[in-house]
A and B are shown apart, each in its own frame.
Chain A
Amino acid sequence: MIAGSGVATRGALGILFATVAAVIYLPIIVMIVFSFNSGRYQVMPFREFTFGWYRRTFQDVQYPEGFANSVAIASAVSVTATAIAFICAYSLVNSKFPGKTAVALFVLAPLAVPLILIGISLRIYFVSIGFEPSLALVYVGQVLYVMPLAVLNIRNRIAQIPKSQEEAAWALGASRIRSIIEIVVPSCRYSIAATLIITFTFAFDEFVIAYFLTNFSITLPIKIWTTLVTGFDPAINAVGVMVFAFSIALGIVAQALFMRKDRRS
């Protein structure tokens, strides 16, 4: 278990870890504290405790509108990307052809590309062929962005399913589609659910692609961005806390689903 790291080393490394964790969490804690602070400006010291900024977020028209748009797009993105990724992952695991590794890496390529390139290339191309930037384009760009993650997740799980189960089904006369629906999908159900959630979260939080591919439409990250760069609104702390809590909650559920799958296999 412990390879015998010396006590002194362990202590020093432990302090480093604690410091890094403190640096990572400090801003988040500050944001949470300020979201309950009645003062208009983000300055210490803390004044009075208030829920006012949270209330104000819900009275604003644009935050709820942005949230609704984000949820709608992220849901569509997550379902599309997971479906395409499932078919792709199953085929990658169950086929052999020259250049397969190259094809697999190609499908994963958007992972190693700055998001800004996905955003700018789609915008320039679609504007040039006569489309206006719109939420539909955001949907396309974000499917591209999250699909590689979905392929990775699902492929790893499909590769673990014993081939014998499907082979038995084929021996009994099942078609490929039927063996997929009755054997592969149920064996992957936790991975698929986790992938749906992960891709949703990534799309929900994604800002750069959405910003490049819209002119006037609002997603929640775009609304947050415009608030941040065009003058300060103290309610932004409350919005940040809620978005943060929402994303972390989804992350925990996805992680739990993965763990569950791990135990079963």
Chain B
Amino acid sequence: MVDAIDSSGASAGKPPVANLWQGILPALLLMGAFFIVPIGYMVGLSFAAPGSDGPTLANYENFFANERFTDALGRSLLMAGSAVAVASAIAYPLAYFLTFAVSRKRRLALLFLLIAPFWTSFTIRAFSWQLVLSDSGVVAYWLGKALGGPVSLGILYTMAASVFGLALFGVMLITLMLFSVMATIDERLLEANRDLGGGELRGFFEVVLPLSLPGWVVGAVLTFIICVGDYAVPTLLGGGFKPVLAQLMLSTLKGTYDLSMAATFAVILVLVVLIAAFPLSLLRNQTRLLQ
């Protein structure tokens, strides 16, 4: 096409500036100055401790020697892992439903219905779940009416409540990611399965599941990462008595001002994120999903 126009002059139809990588510089500078440098600084700080001159592992030793800290890390991992597991179990059938059991027109409306509430802030949503889950909330009230006596749910301010809140978010995200992959599955594969006498369940396990796995990986990893570092839901729904890592980070930062210990928590969270993100690198040919 370029050749067709290229008759009036040597440079006609060619970009006046051949390569444009300079245009990426502002974004790179922003990332460098406000993302890489601060995280690098934090890593450095985590190896510094009061009363020692050179780099030291004191903060990390302190972290792993202190049960309060390791418990918090364990709770963060358990909370995020459970949220991903619960969300995946619900999201898979939902995405299948939206892709293969609903007409195109309805599909958009239902997707919108599913996503719309997540347009608003996490904080507001977490608060609204308090209204439902608390012992004086609507669910306890209705159950009490139905059972004819006061009902204590005992869910609010436990990890189960945090997992519930985070899993709802995960359902939305994982369903979206799965749907975007399932929609590209060639339906002739499912027809072939049927023609060969395979039932719908077999079609799901032999065709849909393997082909949609990359979408699940992306959704599950993102959900895990967002949940493992979340602060609002564990505070509003999980309560503060058994803190997760994010809550320790904040109380250290705004409470004791021990910057190097706070930095150590953060670096441990960075490591968790890097390990969790590893499966994404196995999806080389599916990077389109991320782009």
Query: Which of A57-65, A96-104, A187-195 lines the interface with chain B?
Result: A96-104
Closest to A15 in B: B97
Question: In chain B, residues 182-218, which have Cβ atoms closer than 8 Å to a Cβ of chain A?
Answer: 187, 190-191, 194, 200
Asked whether A143 is an interface residue with its Cβ less than 8 Å from the other chain, the reply is: yes
Chain A residues, Cβ within 8 Å of B30: 84, 143-144, 147
CB of A167 within 8 A of CB of B2, answer yes
| Known contacts A88-B26, A171-B5; 10 further A-B pairs (Cβ under 8 A) | A94-B20, A105-B287, A124-B41, A125-B42, A144-B34, A147-B30, A170-B14, A171-B6, A221-B123, A240-B127
Closest chain B CB from A172 CB (angstroms):
8
CB of A43 within 8 A of CB of B31, answer no
CB of A44 within 8 A of CB of B138, answer yes
B38 CB contact (under 8 Å) in A23, A103, A122: A122
Asked whether B236 is an interface residue with its Cβ less than 8 Å from the other chain, the reply is: yes
B35 CB contact (under 8 Å) in A14, A110, A166, A206: A110
Chain A residues, Cβ within 8 Å of B172: 24
Closest chain A CB from B167 CB (angstroms):
10
CB of B273 within 8 A of CB of A113, answer yes
B97 CB contact (under 8 Å) in A13, A101, A108, A212: A13
A90 CB contact (under 8 Å) in B14, B23, B100, B253: B23
A234-265 vs B, CB cutoff 8 Å, 1 = contact: the mask equals 00110010011001101100010000000000
Chain B residues, Cβ within 8 Å of A121: 35, 38-39, 41-42, 266
CB pairs A–B below 8 angstroms (14 shown)? A20-B94, A21-B114, A27-B131, A27-B132, A91-B23, A105-B290, A113-B229, A116-B249, A140-B34, A144-B30, A208-B230, A224-B127, A240-B128, A247-B121
Question: In chain B, residues 15-33, which have Cβ atoms closer than 8 Å to a Cβ of chain A?
Answer: 15-17, 19-24, 26-28, 30-31
A179-211 vs B, CB cutoff 8 Å, 1 = contact: the mask equals 000000000000000000000010001111001
CB of B15 within 8 A of CB of A176, answer yes
Max chain B C-beta neighbours (<10 A), residue from A16, A117, A128, A240? A117
CB of B41 within 8 A of CB of A88, answer no
Closest to A83 in B: B26
Question: In chain A, residues 1-54, which have Cβ atoms closer than 8 Å to a Cβ of chain B?
Answer: 1-6, 9-10, 13-14, 16-17, 20-21, 23-28, 30-31, 34, 41-45
Asked whether B158 is an interface residue with its Cβ less than 8 Å from the other chain, the reply is: no
How many residue pairs link A and B with beta carbons under 8 A? The number is: 286
CB of A30 within 8 A of CB of B128, answer yes
Asked whether B147 is an interface residue with its Cβ less than 8 Å from the other chain, the reply is: no
- Taken together as a complex, chains A and B put the C-alpha atoms of A101 and B35 apart, in Å, by 19
Query: How many residues from A make CB contacts under 8 Å with B?
Result: 104
Asked whether A151 is an interface residue with its Cβ less than 8 Å from the other chain, the reply is: yes
Interface secondary structure of A, over-half rule? helix
Do A20 and B38 form a contact, CB below 8 Å, given A27-B128, A224-B123? no
CB of A30 within 8 A of CB of B287, answer no
Closest to B185 in A: A3
Chain A residues, Cβ within 8 Å of B41: 121, 124-125, 128
A107-144 vs B, CB cutoff 8 Å, 1 = contact: the mask equals 11111111111101111111110000000000011011
- Taken together as a complex, chains A and B put the C-alpha atoms of A247 and B224 apart, in Å, by 25
CB of A247 within 8 A of CB of B200, answer no
CB of A128 within 8 A of CB of B35, answer no
Do A128 and B259 form a contact, CB below 8 Å, given A14-B97, A114-B225, A207-B121? yes
- Taken together as a complex, chains A and B put the C-alpha atoms of A102 and B212 apart, in Å, by 25
CB of B101 within 8 A of CB of A13, answer yes
Closest to A164 in B: B1
CB of B127 within 8 A of CB of A114, answer no
Asked whether A168 is an interface residue with its Cβ less than 8 Å from the other chain, the reply is: yes
Chain B residues, Cβ within 8 Å of A175: 16
A176 CB contact (under 8 Å) in B17, B27, B123, B127: B17
Max chain A C-beta neighbours (<10 A), residue from B116, B123, B129, B277? B123
A216-228 vs B, CB cutoff 8 Å, 1 = contact: the mask equals 0000010011001
Chain B residues, Cβ within 8 Å of A155: 291
Closest chain A CB from B73 CB (angstroms):
14
CB of B136 within 8 A of CB of A42, answer yes
A168 CB contact (under 8 Å) in B5, B96, B190: B5
CB of B121 within 8 A of CB of A243, answer yes
Chain A residues, Cβ within 8 Å of B160: none
Asked whether B154 is an interface residue with its Cβ less than 8 Å from the other chain, the reply is: no
- Taken together as a complex, chains A and B put the C-alpha atoms of A21 and B172 apart, in Å, by 10
Question: In chain B, residues 64-99, which have Cβ atoms closer than 8 Å to a Cβ of chain A?
Answer: 90, 93-94, 96-98
Asked whether B241 is an interface residue with its Cβ less than 8 Å from the other chain, the reply is: no
Asked whether B63 is an interface residue with its Cβ less than 8 Å from the other chain, the reply is: no
- Taken together as a complex, chains A and B put the C-alpha atoms of A79 and B94 apart, in Å, by 36
Asked whether B47 is an interface residue with its Cβ less than 8 Å from the other chain, the reply is: no
CB of A170 within 8 A of CB of B101, answer no
